[in-house]
Structure 1
């Protein structure tokens, strides 16, 4: 290896450690042009690509490293991480098991296996793996923080908090431990601690998108209603699939159950409370994102899909408000009803970034089509005085989009 290539490799590794993967990638590619079969360089390239969430390319780089050196444990670890990042936990676990045959005493591999098992729902096996990893290397803050992360996923909050404290005692500047401390505080309702811990994590690693997301969540959680909404959502995510769907359907079922009691005051009050709670749950997320967009610093914390969803929410909401005001001033019901229909689309658009990634593109297409139909309805109302059948389409489709967003 020439001095130039060696320098590029060392500088690339240093930039990776500093959290600057894009700059590291350029240097590592320079080194690879001189040594295309170097396993360690391919491993470093995989690290840089994975840090930029380019999982497919990271997998390819890891495989090239293993083609040059089939016993490269770091490349096996990276390959498993890349598969896990793509959601292919079965393949990630298979890779880790193969790596453990080569390095059975590698604490990081046992720790990673525990995290993968936890994602697959094998809670006891996951805990066994991370505890074994911690037994192999109790002084490694990464391993201890990984133990805390699995405990957090298993909702064993006091034990997770103790593990986080242990990790920070080993390394007070461990970014992931601070992140977990913030997440535990959010789960427990401590928004002030969550904000401080999330800021510290982002300060230590300003390039990690997860840390930016967590700080945004902590900032929104300063609103007590949003903090409560977060805790409800966190609790809901821990429920089995059938129970989650039952929770989503509960307001609709309750509304139907109260219909026979429409003439009772208590039923009307309860129905108003239920409808109000549902509206708050749907509208609070985009409203708080709107607040963040008003701050030059905070708007950089929101990912692009959340920002676009918020702008979509505001566009629908402004149009809905205009229709509603027009209807109230003129005393006509059709503009008010169109405003209500557009309000449904606004709430769906504001939650679009929470849809599972594989369905998000479909949601974007549906909103583009819905937006064009809604625009046609508004123009028809303005030019002819009636939206006609377009009003029914916007209303029914808006209800359908809410259900799609709820289950997607």
Structure 2
């Protein structure tokens, strides 16, 4: 009796018509309130409609009714994953696999949940075990490639990415994984080709667009060297507390700050060049182009003010010029902070520093200008603290 509405609901879900599937399933459950598959498929229908809490409730009921059946656990894992609760998704996927270890989609679910938690060794292990069950699964191959890329295993990551593309040359996510591996291991030109292919297959894939921009920037050798140095000499915000104990560390702080400043200038120049080029300007929104233009103007304006101050013997304007040049760091740190509240705080900080630089020049306060310059280049630690406080936004690996 329940077979017909269940079959109709499954067909409707396949056709991406979850609201109609929900109506079928609710009618079934009105007649058979303890139908396990009815609750499980209703969870899928609700999850597809972005009603996460309701979907979890239905999945939980299905698990309660049939705890020894793998399918309710699998559905529960998907509901938790879509709701942004990866720890519960991992537990549900493992419960499913304990009952049905040959179910490849459950290995994929487990791998994706570990990716959400940035648990790369576990993600690689789950994806690899899934591929042992389903060697032709392109999604598992792509996840394995991403996990190995994040683990720094260049050879295996490239092999897994090439395998994913070979399994399905029309898969946007396979080309994305291939591009990520190439970008991570020093082949930005090849990565750019892969990301262009992703955008050809799926023009609305924003992550591919951002990665293509990153690949195009890294084709510039100066940008590539400075970006690598910025990543190597990051200087965690906790280093600030070492200064009272080890005063000579100030030289290390200065070096790190100047490397970051130079890298941010290179970032601005490269972004502005790409944003103005006919072939790549559509990759950038107007905000990115404006921030890049501003960060290209700040060093020029600051240098002009510094030269004018030196020429006229004005100490305050000269030092204020250095402070204006230093504003590149806080502005770029703000622009590259994903958390909205953190970005607002950092833009506010940039505005305060800019105001202090202008007032120090007008009121002839060289000490204030010098402190502003120091605060500007030291904004990498301010930004690190702000990101720790407000978060950095969700990471999307695949």
Q: Partner residue of 1:340?
A: 322
Bigger-Rg structure (1/2): 2
Q: Partner residue of 2:305?
A: 323
Aligned length: 359
Separation (CA, whole Å) in 1 of partners of 2:42 and 2:122? 34
Separation (CA, whole Å) in 2 of partners of 1:177 and 1:216? 19
Q: Which runs of 5+ in 2 are unaligned?
A: 27-37, 64-70, 388-398
Q: Partner residue of 2:79?
A: 79
Equivalent pair of 1:377/1:391 in contact (CA under 8 Å): yes
Separation (CA, whole Å) in 1 of partners of 2:265 and 2:159? 36
Equivalent pair of 1:66/1:72 in contact (CA under 8 Å): yes
Q: C-alpha deviations, 1:126-185, integer Å up to 9, x for none?
A: 443222100111111112222222222222111111112222221111212212222222
Q: Partner residue of 1:404?
A: 382
Q: Partner residue of 1:177?
A: 174
Separation (CA, whole Å) in 1 of partners of 2:90 and 2:290? 35
Task: Using the TM superposition, give the Cα deviation of residue 336 of structure 1 relative to its aligned residue in structure 2, in angstroms.
Answer: 2.2
Q: What is the correspondence of 1:249-398 to structure 2 with a 5 Å cutoff?
A: 256=248, 277-295=259-277, 298-302=280-284, 310=292, 313=295, 316-317=298-299, 320-321=302-303, 323-324=305-306, 326-328=308-310, 330-355=312-337, 357-358=338-339, 361-372=341-352, 374-375=354-355, 377-378=357-358, 381-382=361-362, 386-387=364-365, 391=369, 394-398=372-376
Q: What is the correspondence of 1:2-401 to structure 2 with a 5 Å cutoff?
A: 13=16, 31=20, 37=26, 40=41, 43=44, 46-47=47-48, 57=50, 59-60=52-53, 62-63=55-56, 66=59, 70=63, 71-72=71-72, 75-82=75-82, 86=84, 89-101=86-98, 103-117=100-114, 125-231=122-228, 236=232, 245=236, 256=248, 277-295=259-277, 298-302=280-284, 310=292, 313=295, 316-317=298-299, 320-321=302-303, 323-324=305-306, 326-328=308-310, 330-355=312-337, 357-358=338-339, 361-372=341-352, 374-375=354-355, 377-378=357-358, 381-382=361-362, 386-387=364-365, 391=369, 394-401=372-379
Larger RCO of the pair (alpha carbons < 8 Å, separation 6+): 2
Q: C-alpha deviations, 1:12-61, integer Å up to 9, x for none?
A: 72xxxxxxxxxxxxx756x489669586576356457xxxxxxxx56336
Separation (CA, whole Å) in 2 of partners of 1:277 and 1:369? 21
Q: C-alpha deviations, 1:67-121, integer Å up to 9, x for none?
A: 67555566434334335xx5x5433323433443565432132133235446757
Q: Partner residue of 1:54?
A: none
- Which range moves more in the overlay, 305-314 or 152-161? 305-314
Task: Using the TM superposition, give the Cα deviation of residue 271 of structure 1 relative to its aligned residue in structure 2, in angstroms.
Answer: 12
Secondary structure class of the residue paired with 2:327: helix
Equivalent pair of 1:201/1:211 in contact (CA under 8 Å): yes
Separation (CA, whole Å) in 1 of partners of 2:74 and 2:268? 41
Separation (CA, whole Å) in 2 of partners of 1:271 and 1:233? 13
**TM-score in terms of structure 2 length:** 0.70
Cα RMSD (Å) of the superposition? Answer: 4.6
Separation (CA, whole Å) in 2 of partners of 1:126 and 1:132? 10
Equivalent pair of 2:329/2:377 in contact (CA under 8 Å): no
Separation (CA, whole Å) in 2 of partners of 1:400 and 1:230? 17
**TM-score in terms of structure 1 length:** 0.69
Equivalent pair of 2:236/2:381 in contact (CA under 8 Å): no
Equivalent pair of 1:370/1:394 in contact (CA under 8 Å): no
Distance 1:400 1:247, change over 3 A: closer
Distance 1:81 1:170, change over 3 A: same
Distance 1:32 1:138, change over 3 A: closer
Distance 1:320 1:78, change over 3 A: farther
Equivalent pair of 2:86/2:116 in contact (CA under 8 Å): yes
